[in-house]
Amino acid sequence: MSKKYLVQTTRSIILLLAVLGLAFFGAAVPVGGSQLLENAPELSYCYLPWIVFIEMMVVPCYAVLVRTWEIITSLLYDRMFTAANARNFQRISIITFTTTVYFFFGNTALFFLNMSHPLIYLISFAFIGIGVGVALAAAILSYRAGQISNIQEQSKLSEEANSADT
């Protein structure tokens, strides 16, 4: 698989995720909530808290997509293991972990306020597990990219010192 193909494919996936996110956050959540209210008007007290809760996750989700785009772009120029990418992976890890913690506590609060069904609460733990997994993977990639970046920098300095000696 060529580097250019890998970058183009990954960029296509990122763009697809952005469009799906727009459809989910911009259409499915509000329309689905409205339809739920039509079928179960007794749940109207849950609508606004859930809409606000879910829509608060838009910015972090898109921030991760932007950081991922930056990392993939660096691959095109053979600069995958750089300090900048280590920082991007670290930011992805922090954003993902923070959003996962927000999701856990928000979902738990809504559950205890009797604004969530127990099955929805239990299913949400799968999403929490995915979020923690992504955060850990990004943290590990950040650490490894930082290590490799340091090794590359030391190698470059050694080469420069050796060329200056000759």
Structural domain spans, the chain: 3-165
Q: Output the average pLDDT for the chain.
A: 93
Please determine, for residue 166, whether its predicted confidence score (pLDDT) is greater than 80.
Answer: no
* C-alpha to C-alpha distance for 121 and 25, rounded to whole angstroms: 19
* C-alpha to C-alpha distance for 140 and 63, rounded to whole angstroms: 19
Query: Tokens for 62?
Result: 């898109």
Query: Is residue 33 a contact partner of residue 47, using CB atoms and an 8 Å limit?
Result: yes
CA distances to 87, 93, 107 from 103, rounded to whole Å, are 24, 15, 6
Give the pLDDT band (50/70/90) at residue 152. Answer: confident
Predicted pLDDT at 30: 92
The pTM of the full predicted model, rounded to 2 decimals, is 0.87
Mean pLDDT of 29-57: 92
91-109 b/e (C-beta count within 10 Å ≥ 16 → b): bbbebbbebbeebbebbee
* C-alpha to C-alpha distance for 51 and 30, rounded to whole angstroms: 7
Number of other CB atoms surrounding residue 64 within 10 Å = 21
Closest CA to 29 of 57, 69, 6: 57
* C-alpha to C-alpha distance for 10 and 68, rounded to whole angstroms: 9
CA distances to 57, 65, 83, 90, 105 from 44, rounded to whole Å, are 22, 33, 49, 40, 22
Predicted pLDDT at 76: 87
Residue type, 24: F
